[in-house]
Amino acid sequence: MAALVRFLQSTILSKVVVAVTGLFMVLFLLGHMTGNLQMYLGQETMNVYAETLQGLGGLLWVIRGALLLFLVLHVILTLRLKFLSMSARPEPYAVKNYVRATLTSRTMVWSGVMLSLFIVYHLLHFTVKATNPAYGGLFDAAGRHDVYSMVILGYSNVLISMVYIAAMILLGFHLFHAIESMFQTLGINHEKYNPIIHGLSVTLSTIIVVGFIMIPVGVLAGWIALPAGVIVL
Amino acid sequence: MNLDPKIPSGPLAEKWDNHRFEMKLVNPANKRKYSAIVVGTGLAGASAAATMAELGYQVTALCYNDSARRAHSIAAQGGINAAKNYPNDGDSVYRLFYDTVKGGDYRSREANVYRLAQVSNNIIDQCVAQGVPFAREYGGYLDNRSFGGAQVSRTFYARGQTGQQLLLGAYSALMRQVGLGTVDLHTRHEMMDIVLIDGHARGVVVRDMVTGEVQSFAADAVILATGGYSNVFFLSTNAIACNVTAAYRAYKKGAAFANPCYTQIHPTCIPVSGDHQSKLTLMSESLRNDGRIWVPKAKDEKRAPNDIPEDERDYYLERKYPSFGNLSPRDISSRSAKEACDDGRGVGPTGYGVYLDFKDAINRLGKSTIEARYGNLFQMYERITGEDPYQVPMRIYPAAHYTMGGLWVDYNLQSTIPGLHVLGEANFSDHGANRLGASALMQGLADGYFVIPYTIGNYFATAKTEKVTTEHPEFKRAEEEVRGRIDSLLALDGSRTVVSIHRELGKIMWDYCGMARNEQGLKKALELIPELRQEFWENAKVVGDGENLNSALERAGRVADFLEFAELMCHDALNRNESCGGHFREEYQTEDGEAKRNDEDYTYVAAWEYKGVGNEPVLHREPLEFENVQLQTRSYK
Amino acid sequence: MKLKLHIWRQKNARDKGKMVTYEVDGIISDMSFLEMLDVLNEKLILNSEEPVAFDHDCREGICGACSLTINGIPHGPEKETTICQLHMRHFKDGDEIYIEPFRARAFPVIRDLVTDRSAFDRIMQAGGFVSARTGGVPDANAIPISKKEADLAMDNAACIGCGACVASCKNASAMLFVAAKVSQYAHLPQGQPERKRRVLNMVAQMDKEGFGGCTNQYECEAVCPKGISVASIALMNRDFFKASVTE
């Protein structure tokens, strides 16, 4: 434990942890997005997928626990780094201009904080269903929890959809700097491969954002529709 | 005054080895009992401090900059010579020695120069081991180039930043010792005076430039590595704060000052653009490999350079020195530029500039080749002047660059004050009347890494001085003097800034003791300088207090010393009735305007003894004996 | 050319400090930025006011002493140019210019625009060297080094230690400075024996000095007067991780 604390005291190693946890979360996002896009394949496929996930039992909790740990580490370490950085310049510049640093890269901590708040809301909304307890009572014809309908019901509210879409755009900005940055922190920077890394960063962030947004957009546009027999609450 | 050079016995090639054997050693266990103060952290100072600390001596190092890494050695561009003979083109220790003695116009000490050539190879080894990234060939071995008109390729370089890389090497060695606690380094401390006890140099008085505190350091020996005095000309290639104060203070305390009139004027600098100018920027001499130097044939030419037809241009170096042409040595190129401008044919807004034209080279080799060779220099030129040298010829003019003169030292690098040793540009020893390109870095590091660490041990082992502390009354007295001087500077409340007086001094020196000198002009300068000095003490203005960082006060102290030192330079120039190297006396030239040496009467080192402000200093002569090299006339026709 | 200057004035480290506005006239385009300040200082002295203190020495872009933030950008608007090499032709009549010191907790202001950058020296003392005793070394050509590696070492060795990387960084991080030195030696065989020790010690000292962490925004590279690449930072991250795990 003491070794771990010492490890994390170094700014560089903290960042390595931030990068690695970020990497896992990106992988999770890719999986989550691919899974969610099954909404376009209809109620049956989506609900089977959801049931399979639930059927993982203990393993599901291990994954959830790991994700939570990654998230907590990611947030705590970046906040600590942020406080260090803030104390590293007590007297601000009267005028400050940037040549290369982008708005996205300069606001990572804020986009991060907002995304954390969004995650809390998202969990309360669809996982714990605290905001909408009625979602727990949705079942499909086969008696499975009707995740498909729940999602559609959730996004049918334009305001909620807008929140999700806005959060995903924010996520996009966050990832746009994060993915490329992760390579640098992990020590991967080579003239020959930098354009590829940059391309990968742009492509991945775009895919994730567009993929997620397609669901509320699909619901609002009517591309994904409620099956017959589900009562709109 | 004792000017015994203490040259070791034996044949030239064996002198240093013999001497190293004959010198007394300090027992390893006793080394920590001896201490030295090193003033200056340039190539010579940093390398000396680091090496002596490695040996086990207690070292205190001082510099005026905020970091030891900023000494002006850092600005050297071209390279460093060594007799490695890696290119197999016939170089040898003897050839490097010979070239240096000849290049110095036979006014340097043979034994010192030979030792310099000998240790030149060790310097390269040392620097490479420290991680200095010298240029390499594809095979992985070190690259060499020819430089400054040398007929062999013996110059090692790190792009155009050789001085920087060598200094950072020495600085890193110094930092290692500071980290180990063996060197006590004080940055932003300026040496104000040297303290003698029983005739031996035992310490220095310094001013903490941040708090203004005047304090002392005591030691068994003092080493000055404080650079040259080109800033006496106000405009030079030196850094703004480079000064003569440390050396001049030592001179006032009894150290002989040798050959102060030997100053080097570098031919390829960016010309002065106006009265606002604070310093001059050197452009590497390598530009002369492809550029052609010319001025218009007509006086007061008003046309743009590209509008002046070929037959109305005077390629004066090619005309006067057909075999060396644009590559003629520094002193000759500089003087010819001055002649053309004095003739009213200079170019640019001030009339003090000549063209360095790359048009023919671009036509011959293509723009891309020129860009590959000089791209960074062209960029620097454009940054400063706003003109594109690919389109318009560059304008260049000579500028004060390096000073061969300095405190007199013997073979052990000890001055006439026992215990006071002087290294690098601050001493006079190795370059005679003219320094060759890429030799300054070599000398600084030779003195610091390979000479003083040996000779200082001999001094410690033989001097056997008593231990002193800064409580000694001599220290207290010196501190009081320094405080009094600071107070009198702070009391100056006239109507002129110190910088304006420095600029005026520079003009006097440049006009009368610059590239070409004559008796009448030097006498005139000797009248003008005391007047200006009086003007300084009566009419200069220094603001601020002594308890905080005060750049006006720092400048005033340095200029006050330049105002005294300038006179010494003129006395020396007046005394030397011959032309040699960087010292050109108009009365002593051949019919076609070449320098005329007088070996009969002036084959000596002129070492001057201080006799009070305004009083004529006393000349002492150290005869130069040439046993190995035959004195010849330098000719570049 | 007439200019309005807003300059940070602070008598000493204990003083609070504030921005003060000055006007200068008669500035010509061939002046360097520092010569423009010289003009102001000459004027101030004749008015019995204390001149603006700023660090400078070589005035040819190599010593690394000059350290001004011009309108929020260290060393001003020109790419790969120190402030001493920035000329007034890049400004125009009537411009307002904000001149501030390099700001960071690790660079406390000593006076006006002069800061204490000795933190860099202490980082160097922690490991910015090859331990090679004078004299006890092999022939310079005994170790061949590929031209490419030697050039990479030189690219990093070009650092002038000015601190613009710290001053420009949103986090006041010194990563580029430290990484440049670590990379120089990492690219050379001479640097290998102390490679792990060096990176551990230098980074530890860097953290101790109170610099912020790096967030890969590369502002440092953009303002670096010597154009040092952030690839050096990636190399240092790699080396530091390796060394932390194995040492």
Question: Amino acid identity of B214?
Answer: V
Please compute the mean of the pLDDT values over residues A79-105 and round it to a whole number: 95
Q: Which H, E and C letters describe chain C, residue by residue?
A: CCEEEEEEECCCCCCCCEEEEEEECCCCCCCEHHHHHHHHHHHHHHCCCCCCCCCCCCCCCCCCCCCEEECCEECCCCCCCCHHHCEHHHCCCCCEEEEEECCCCCCCEEECCEECCHHHHHHHHHHCCCCCCCCCCCCHHHCCCCHHHHHHHHHHHCCCCCCHHHHHCCCCECHHHHHHHHHHHHCCHHHCCCHHHHHHHHHHHHHHCCCECCCCCCHHHHHCCCCCCCHHHHHHHHHHHHHHHHC
Residue A233 confidence (pLDDT) above 90:
no
Containing structural domain, residue A17: 2-221
Residue A233 falls inside a structural domain = no
Residue A228 falls inside a structural domain = no
Half-sphere exposure of B247 (CA within 13 A, CB side): 32
Q: Between chains, do A93 and C218 touch, taking CB under 8 Å as contact?
A: no
End-to-end CA distance of chain A: 50
pLDDT at B375: 85
Give the pLDDT band of residue A46 (cuts 50, 70, 90).
Answer: very high
Domains held by chain C: number = 2
Token pair for B185: 């380094």
Q: How far apart are CA B449 and CA B413, in angstroms?
A: 13
Contact list in A for residue C236 (CB cut-off 8 A) is: 12
- Residue A145 belongs to domain with CATH number: 1.20.1300
Please compute the mean of the pLDDT values over residues C103-131 and round it to a whole number: 98
Q: Which of C111, C136, C156 is the last residue of a domain?
A: C111
Tens of pLDDT, residue by residue over A150-194, are: 999 999 999 999 999 999 999 999 999 999 999 999 999 999 999
- Residue C101 belongs to domain with CATH number: 3.10.20.30
Q: Is A94 on the interface with C (CB under 8 A)?
A: yes
Contact list in C for residue B278 (CB cut-off 8 A) is: 32, 34-35, 38, 59
pLDDT at A230: 67
**Boundaries of every domain in chain B:** 265-399, 473-611
C126 in the same domain as C98: no
Contact list in A for residue C215 (CB cut-off 8 A) is: 81, 85, 105, 108, 181
Give the pLDDT band of residue A231 (cuts 50, 70, 90).
Answer: low
C72 in the same domain as C135: no
CATH class of B473-611: mainly alpha
Between positions 77 and 116 of C, the ones with CB within 8 A of A are: 98, 100, 103-106, 109
Confirm whether pTM is higher than 0.90. yes
pLDDT at B150: 80
Q: Chains contacting C with at least 3 CB pairs below 8 Å?
A: A, B
Between A231 and C93, the more confident residue is C93
C241 in the same domain as C150: yes
pLDDT at C232: 98
Q: Between chains, do C124 and B171 touch, taking CB under 8 Å as contact?
A: yes
Nearest to A85 among C168, C172, C203 (CB): C172
What residue of C is the nearest CA neighbor of B493?
Answer: C48
C137 in the same domain as C210: yes
Whether B and C touch, i.e. at least 3 CB pairs below 8 A, reads as: yes
- Residue C67 contacts residue C162 (beta carbons within 8 Å): yes
Q: How far apart are CA B317 and CA B310, in angstroms?
A: 15
Percent pLDDT > 70 in chain B is: 100
Q: Between chains, do C105 and A10 touch, taking CB under 8 Å as contact?
A: no
Residue C158 confidence (pLDDT) above 90:
yes
Q: Is C66 on the interface with A (CB under 8 A)?
A: no
Q: Which H, E and C letters describe chain A, residue by residue?
A: CHHHHHHHHCHHHHHHHHHHHHHHHHHHHHHHHHHHHHHHHCHHHHHHHHHHHHCCCHHHHHHHHHHHHHHHHHHHHHHHHHHHHHHHCCCCCCCCCCCCCCHHHHCHHHHHHHHHHHHHHHHHHHHCCCCCHHHHHCECCCCCECHHHHHHHHHHCHHHHHHHHHHHHHHHHHHHHHHHHHHHHCCCCCCCCHHHHHHHHHHHHHHHHHHHHHHHHHHHHCCCCCCCCCCCC
Give the pLDDT band of residue A204 (cuts 50, 70, 90).
Answer: very high
C235 in the same domain as C128: yes
pLDDT at B332: 84
C126 in the same domain as C28: no
pLDDT at B434: 92
Domain B265-399, CATH: 3.90.700.10
Residue A227 falls inside a structural domain = no
Domains held by chain A: number = 1
Q: Is C207 on the interface with A (CB under 8 A)?
A: yes
Token pair for B86: 């890696």
**Shortest CA gap A138–chain C (Å):** 45
Residue A79 falls inside a structural domain = yes
Nearest to A88 among C73, C104, C240 (CB): C104
Binned average pLDDT, 10 residues per bin, chain B of 637 residues = 95 97 95 97 98 98 98 94 96 96 95 98 98 96 86 92 97 98 98 98 98 98 98 97 98 98 95 91 87 94 93 94 85 90 92 94 92 85 92 95 97 98 97 93 98 98 94 98 98 97 97 96 98 98 96 97 98 97 94 90 98 96 96 79
Residue A137 falls inside a structural domain = yes
Q: Chains contacting B with at least 3 CB pairs below 8 Å?
A: C
Nearest to C85 among B383, B449, B550 (CB): B383
**Shortest CA gap C158–chain B (Å):** 8
**Shortest CA gap A111–chain C (Å):** 14
What residue of C is the nearest CA neighbor of B74?
Answer: C63
Contact list in B for residue C11 (CB cut-off 8 A) is: 548
Q: Is A146 on the interface with C (CB under 8 A)?
A: no
Contact list in C for residue A14 (CB cut-off 8 A) is: 213
pLDDT at B583: 96
Question: Amino acid identity of C52?
Answer: V
Q: Between chains, do B165 and C65 touch, taking CB under 8 Å as contact?
A: no
Residue A114 falls inside a structural domain = yes
**Shortest CA gap B18–chain C (Å):** 18
C235 in the same domain as C195: yes
Containing structural domain, residue C188: 118-246
Question: Amino acid identity of A140?
Answer: D
Instruction: Return the C-alpha torsion angle B524, B526, B530, B531, nearest 10.
Output: 0
Q: Between chains, do C72 and A106 touch, taking CB under 8 Å as contact?
A: no
* Total beta-carbon pairs less than 8 A apart between chain A and chain C: 138
Give the pLDDT band of residue A232 (cuts 50, 70, 90).
Answer: low
Residue C82 confidence (pLDDT) above 70:
yes
> How does DSSP assign B370-408, residue by residue?
HHHHHHHHHHHHHHHH---TTTS-EEEEEEEEEE--EE-
